[in-house]
Amino acid sequence: MPTVITAARLVTPVEWIEAPVVVVEDGRITALRSRNSAEIPVGRLLNFPDLVLAPGFIDIHIHGGAGRDAMEADESALAQIERQLVKHGVTAYLPTTVTASRERIFQALDGLGKSIATANKNPGRAAPLGIHLEGPFISHEKRGVHPTQNLLPPSPHAFERFWQASAGTIRMMTIAPELPGAAETIQYARTMGVHSSLGHSNATYQEAQSGISAGADHATHTFNAMRALDHRDPGILGAVLENDGLTADIIADGIHVHPSVLKLFLRSKGADRSILITDAISATDMPEGIYSLGGLEVHVSNGRCEHQGKLAGSVLTLDRAIRNVMTYAGWQLQQAVRLATLNPAQRLGISDQRGLLATGRRADLVVLTPEGQVVQTIIGGEVAN
């Protein structure tokens, strides 16, 4: 028997549908229409009056949550992280590593790769789509809290070793384009289907353009850990903000980036090239205290995560990021939702499966109030929280 989901409105997110009827069979949407033009079919009914349906959110940069760190890379850690994500409407994500010893990175990549291979066996949890390798191919000057002693010069050979350790599950790599060997590494990663993201970089404008020419197609937590923008020295930010072929993500927590700068970012990159991320760590949804980020000790207080006085990730959730865009930039729910659904799906090349509510897509949905509060998350047509 099919599952029939109804609500007051639905955002695909490219359009609104009033009084939607979503029919789900075998985890996929088989019909999507308005009950103003068709009868509600027979089936198991999930009715959400006065609420809004949207695609499940996708977080392409997250380090942990619920007291656990993605680099623990074991079943219990990922299970807690993935259940916590579901509470905030996230149905898919990229577990993200940090710079550490090669042995620790290899161990994390091995564990994450194995978990990704069996992700479909974990109903009711957010699905890991692949790994985001953040570091060690980053700039010393803009390393943030990434340990200096563990930074590595990029090379196709070094990337290949990480790729093999992950069993071919790396989907995104943050890299500083000014480093010797970066262009060759970006080109090589692209042959593996890996998206190179410019970040943790002190690149000049021309060095950033060289990375883009080599195949980089994204930018990591724009403004943070990047050479500052100057009107005579635009640097990496000038290249990121002006390039229409480059998507870029941002941490919209009001701490990493001032709300006015968020508005400028959204105006520059637009509704189709901006992506929301959390950069969340294990402290997310936990009391204030001391937590781990890939082995680093992070102090969390008043919403700030710091290691030795430097920002070290966040406790932001993706639903909060969407609401912050609505508050800080004055965007409507439909516009803001796109930044956490269709845009990341398109960047990863999976918009034929996720990020858009349409016939044939996965039945991963989030039920929202008109203000963007998560009420329920549905994965494969089944209520998950």
Q: Give the three-class secondary structure for 242.
A: helix
- Class in CATH terms, 57-348: alpha beta
Question: Nearest to residue 383, comparing CAs of 18, 12, 10, 24?
Answer: 24
C-alpha to C-alpha distance for 57 and 229, rounded to whole angstroms: 31
The SS3 call for residue 175 is: strand
pLDDT of residue 385 exceeding 80: no
37 pLDDT band, cuts 50/70/90, is confident
Whole-number pLDDT of residue 222: 98
Give the pLDDT of residue 123: 83
Q: What are phi and psi of 168, to 5 degrees?
A: 75, 30
pLDDT of residue 41: 86
pLDDT for 50 beyond 90: yes
Provide mean pLDDT across the span 63-90: 96
Residues 222, 264 contacting (CB under 8 angstroms): no
pLDDT band for position 39 (50/70/90)? confident
Over residues 340-351, the pLDDT tens digits come to: 999 999 999 999
Strand partners, 307: 310
> How far apart (Å, rounded) are the C-alpha atoms in residues 307 and 125?
30
| pLDDT confidence of residue 1 | 85
Residue 172 sits at φ, ψ, to 5 deg, of -145, 145
| The CATH number of domain 3-53+364-383, selected from 1.10.3720.10, 2.30.40.10, 3.40.1180.10, 2.30.29.30 | 2.30.40.10
pLDDT (average), residues 324-330: 98
Across the range 93-108, mean pLDDT stands at 97
pLDDT attached to residue 69: 97
Quote the mean pLDDT of the chain: 96
Is it the case that residue 255 has pLDDT exceeding 80?
yes
Q: Which pLDDT value is given to residue 337?
A: 98
Question: What are the catalytic residues?
Answer: 279
pLDDT digits (tens, 9 = 90+) for 6-15: 999 999 999 9
pTM to 2 decimal places: 0.97
Domain range annotation of the chain = 3-53+364-383, 57-348
> Quick one: which H or E segment has residue 259?
helix 259-273
Confidence at residue 36, expressed as pLDDT on a 0 to 100 scale: 82
Helices 182-191, 205-214: inter-axial angle, 10-degree rounding? 30
**Mean pLDDT, rounded, for 286-310:** 96
